[in-house]
Chains A and B, each alone.
Chain A
Amino acid sequence: MSLGIFSVKNSQSKSIFEPAPAYVKAIYSMPVSFDPIKMNDGASLIFSELIYEGLLRFTDDYGVWPAIAESWTTSSDGLVLKFKINPLAKFHNGEPITASDVKASLSRNVSSESLVYKFYDVILGAKDYFAQKSEDVSGLKVIDNLTFEIHLEKPFPPILYVLAGGTAKILPSKYINDEGFFKKPIGSGPYQVEEINDKEIHLKMFSGYHGNGPRIPKMILELLNQEEAMEKASRGLVHDLSSWPMNGKEEVFKSGQDISSVVADTWIIGLNTRFPPFDRLENRRLFQQSIDTEKFRTTFYPDAKPAFGYIPPSFPGHESLKVNFLETAARVPKELVELYIPEELSRSQEMAHFFEEEFKSKGWNVKVIPTKWEEMMKGYNDKTLGAFLVSMIVDYPDPEFLLNNFESKNLDNFSGIKDAKIDELILSSRKTQDRIERQKFQLALAKRVNELSLSINLFHSRAHYWIHECVEGFKPNLLAVAYTDYRKVSFDQKCLKRRELWNKK
């Protein structure tokens, strides 16, 4: 799971971008990391999808498609996945991609540095490698220059989703350990890096791309806060505001396209059981029951779907009706509760006021602290935040990846919950190959997570993406906007000329 959030203010952008034909996509923060194995936020994943290429790729509706791999097969016991590498696939420096590059890249995903190890731990030998008990991942095998095998500990079909995701990217083994590699990384994706500075990332079309390459020669990822981005978009200087899921009512939608789509996300106030008063279930439940989430949703995100549980729509365990837990007899605790919300949210002050008023009316001593996104991310990773508002994005079309966040030993367990039943259910789910049987465990898992009241579930968003009127081929991705396929996006040149004339007038 990755965390998505919004805009970064005070960016005094000194734009060096050129007007069209460069495609300007506004981003709310610079990528936290350019290294796929350390990516845990939306901006990084956007970058990853443009610059890097994995063995597989997601289609816009949860499907998996070949990317660097020309074809792949799975053994009948489900333990071995064999990939044929496309001989035309090249890195941006022109060097061909080999099975050794695949091994080196995927090995990094299960190394001790990896923040995404949890997705790959089913690979044979991953555990030892992660624990630095071995120097080689035995399950990653180079068969020949263009053939590669992945051996699994046990059959685990969702591994294909992991390999299509934003962290399973193939990098050139020759240069990957070079110092400064990620300052101007070399990938094999449809775009290559021209320049990265504090506010902008300049990309150009990779002419040696092995498949159907992009149609837009230049692309700029520009760091802007939401107001600036919308203002520039209104003037036609930004072409893509899809980093901000909006509600379609914004002024900017008076021109341009409104592309609306469901998003596999859930907006929550995460509760950290490591600190009181949320170490106690009755306190968490009381806190959860103290806020009218529907009021919040209808006030701030009326287009979104109500959330009655942690799991977003479309996935097993999603609750479409309100679940009433028994009223708790606990009294409202006296401790001060600090609730962190991202400062970059355009109505963060209003939200802070809303939460404080709501909780105070129920007797809680709550202080809402609007915080910069970077600081929040740090606190999130360090598990120092007691309560925090974030959007949880489903990276893979399988709820296990969302729910294993609550596993006791998961390093990314924001709640810090240690629940034997959750652990057991996750274990059972991963052991089970049968799709239907697995989903039964996942249903139970989702139910258990909801029972433990580890989050206040605010809503599941329905995004409205603003796209410039002269842009064609933008298709939302049902999984995450980061997976948008920019190879298919192009400009309507006639429309651009018309706009240009209109602007001159």
Chain B
Amino acid sequence: MDILEKLTILTDAAKYDVACTSSGVDRKGAPGSIGNAAACGICHSFSADGRCIALLKVLMSNACVYDCSYCVNRKSNDVPRATFEPRELAELMIQFYRRNYIEGLFLSSAVVRNPDYTCEQMIEVLSLIRNTYRFRGYIHVKAIPGADDKLLTALGLLADRMSVNLELPSHDSLKLLAPDKSRESILVPMGRIKTGIHENRTDLAKYRNTPRFVPAGQSTQMIVGATPETDYQIINLSAALYKKYELKRVFYSAYMPVMTGRNLPSLDTKPQLLREHRLYQADWLLRFYQFDATELLDEKNPNFNPLIDPKCNWALNHYDFFPVEVNTAPYETLLRVPGLGVIGAKKIIRARRMGSLDFPDLKKMGVVLKRAQYFITCRGKTALGLPSNPEAVLRGLLSEQGAALAQPPMEQFSLFDHTDSTKEDLVKCLTGQI
């Protein structure tokens, strides 16, 4: 099999993995080696679905020994199989990197023979790249559940980020669709990685030259829309993962029906892309906007409003929190205003030290007022002609023309009281009473 065919098969099998970030670690280049890494992450291209391509995302192999009903690569499925030779994959990756196609490698694999063997193969690729090619760029690797602890550690020392996919957001769903995987088999390696990072941190404090273990942290991913969990459950789970396992990222992936199965949604199921989008918005609120999962949703309203984003939703439900005075409100309060982001809030803080701000000033600074205008005051005044009750604000937020439609329609002044004829008037007319 030639390398083009292999690449096609193993890319196709890896494409449903969402994580493709290259962020979280800063590493300068060094003489005699190749590559560096930037903490902000660098995307290199965007595919036709609009998602970023930062890493060469491939499976080591798709020749799996397991038979999970939801997986394309299950043993009983009739698909072409391929396996990369470690040297071949390392060479391909370095050549792509030299041409500035990619930022690094994302390596995952089906389980070949057994978890330990698979893990060893992956370690071989990574050590070729790191030690033979002396590559200092970014590597993201999937931990293989069930592999030996020592192998996991060796893998972590070669990679920048490690991830274990949670796949499905609850125990019951896992049992239904992935009977071979248990919640424990996923959470145990996740916990291992966390302790590994902690131990490494203390070692680093003692010895400067300790090799770094997973310096860019770990992430996970779950599928949304294949099972009946609510947004409330999912977002609470994410919050717990961030807190308990100190994850850097939780990725959400709308379920794409690619095959039929007894417990799987039917093939004509539409992927819930909007729901995925709302989950990401909420995820950002947890990580950067100091929101708590319980603030966003509760058992009575367990799902996000498809019409407006989670922050607007929160703001409309807590309307007494607003309006916020732009010139005096602390940073944390500014962050709660819909339409104001981290950058906008920081800009406001900087600029207001130099004098009080008005709406035109905000506009000039590049603060987007489309949503924010309903929730802020400048020098105690709201923007002219805006509604002040949540229902009208919602109408304004939803309409393209925004504010204009949120107001009651204009009326021509008239000398005479103009009232529309009612149904009764019509009846009276007909019966001849008027």
| Binding partners A and B | no
Q: What residues make up the interface of B, taking CB atoms closer than 8 Å to A?
A: none
Q: What residues make up the interface of A, taking CB atoms closer than 8 Å to B?
A: none
